[in-house]
Amino acid sequence: MKILGIETSCDETAAAVVENGINIHSNSIFSQINKHRPFGGVVPEIASRNHVIKLPEIVNCALIEAQIDLNQIDAIAVTYGPGLGSSLVVGYSYAKSLSKRLNIPLIGVNHHFGHLYSVLMNTKIDDFKDFFPMLSLMVSGGDTSIVLMENIREYKVIGTTIDDAAGEALDKAATILGLGYPGGPVIQKISDGGNENFIKFPIGLKNESRGNWSYDYNRNYCFSFSGLKTSLLTKIKKYENQIPNDELKDITASFQRAIVNSLIDRFSNALSEHSVKSFSCSGGVSLNKVLRYELEKLSLKINLPLLLSPPSLCTDNAAMIAGVAYEMIKNNYVLNPIDVSPSLRLKDWKSIKIS
């Protein structure tokens, strides 16, 4: 089964053709980073306008790369949330129109689950049972969560951030330091070779008094990154207008280390208390080299297979959306109703059997 995937949840315009959930025939992406960089972040109006302009071209590129015609597509998959409302509408409207014209199914996919699924596409195995149950760390600019996956259809969010996502914290740090957008890649680049112990940033929730806990998750599996921004602002006050390059390298290295330490600390807590066959990490921040190194060390320490997405599937892409849709069709699950949902959460994904 060949599925055309469409992804426009934020500022990447993407289309892909995937066969049987794992065989990626094409994965075309138009990045708008250069258009948003002058503003220090994504501007929704600019993002949606560029989706309108670029989506037909990107879909055509995906079909050409896959060497197939539209009439050879069996279904269309589209991200319906979470994301920027105006961006989601562009992809959804285009996909809906195309599915009606071709008279083929339209499958709505939760963007977050696409990231979780992306690690399985790298295995090139169509039977994933040997990987489950799996504990997954999803870490991006919009969300940071720990998900227990019993199988491809049953999962539970067991930990999450109570404020900022890890990628969001990196973006905010880059803005504070005047480094530009997006924050994760630029901080990784500048911090290379820096002293990670130059500043001891706090790990949120780790050393605080227990107090009252009003969230629906185990405190030991949750993250808090908002305090890092405040701490960074305090630490750099002494520099007034200019931070020396050597110290900037050390500051960014220390900040990056604090993010990674928090992720590994919380994820390790969850791994130690759940019996799983494998663990994974997905999302844009999973590209971070320091995080990947620490995850690989953890894999050796606990003797569990680690699944990571290749770089092309870490950031927003349509291949992961098409992959999830295949699994939904194969298992007779669809979304009902399908409409854009900008504030959709992973645990809100409710599926019903096809009647």
Instruction: Round the CA-based radius of gyration of the chain to a whole number and report it.
Output: 20
Q: Which of the 8 DSSP states describes residue 46?
A: H
End-to-end CA distance of the chain: 20
What is d(CA 169, CA 110) in angstroms, rounded to the nearest whole number? 23
What pLDDT is recorded for position 288? 97
Report residue 337's pLDDT band, with 50, 70 and 90 as the boundaries.
low
For residues 277 and 133, the answer to whether their CB atoms sit within 8 Å is yes
Question: Structure tokens of 90?
Answer: 């562009």
CA neighbor of 59 nearest in space, from 77, 42, 44 = 77
What is d(CA 276, CA 293) in angstroms, rounded to the nearest whole number? 21
What pLDDT is recorded for position 348? 57
What pLDDT is recorded for position 351? 47
Pair type for strands 333-335 and 23-31: unpaired
For residues 147 and 156, the answer to whether their CB atoms sit within 8 Å is yes
What is d(CA 335, CA 344) in angstroms, rounded to the nearest whole number? 13
CA neighbor of 132 nearest in space, from 160, 109, 113, 155 = 155
Mean of per-residue pLDDT scores for the chain:
92
Beta bridge partners of 144: 139
Question: Structure tokens of 42?
Answer: 């994504």
Identify residue 63 by its one-letter amino acid code. Answer: L
Q: Which of the 8 DSSP states describes residue 223?
A: B
Q: Which of the 8 DSSP states describes residue 286?
A: G
Class of domain 2-117+313-353: alpha beta
Residue the block writes with tokens 């290749």: 310
Q: How many CB atoms lie within 10 A of CB 331?
A: 14
What is d(CA 14, CA 54) in angstroms, rounded to the nearest whole number? 9
Domains 2-117+313-353 and 131-308 share a fold: yes
Q: Is the pLDDT assigned to residue 62 strictly greater than 50?
A: yes
User: What are the b/e assignments for 1-39, b being 16+ CB within 10 Å?
Assistant: ebbbbbbbbbbbbbbbbbbebbebbbbbbbebeeebeee
Calculate what percentage of the chain has a pLDDT beyond 90: 79
What's the pTM?
0.92
| Angle, helices 166-176/226-235, rounded to nearest 10 degrees | 20
Q: Percentages helix, strand, coil for the chain, rounded to the nearest 5?
A: 45, 20, 35
Domain 131-308, CATH = 3.30.420.40
Tens digits of residue pLDDT in 1-50:
999 999 999 999 999 999 999 999 999 999 999 999 988 889 999 999 99
Calculate what percentage of the chain has a pLDDT beyond 70: 94
Rounded average pLDDT over 81-106: 96
Q: Edge-to-edge strand order for the sheet containing 278-282?
A: 155-160, 144-149, 134-139, 278-282, 306-308
Identify residue 3 by its one-letter amino acid code. Answer: I
Exposed (0-12), middle (13-18) or buried (19+): which is 182, by Cβ within 10 Å? buried
What is d(CA 238, CA 110) in angstroms, rounded to the nearest whole number? 44
Q: Is the pLDDT assigned to residue 333 strictly greater than 60?
A: yes
User: Residue ranges of the domains in the chain?
Assistant: 2-117+313-353, 131-308
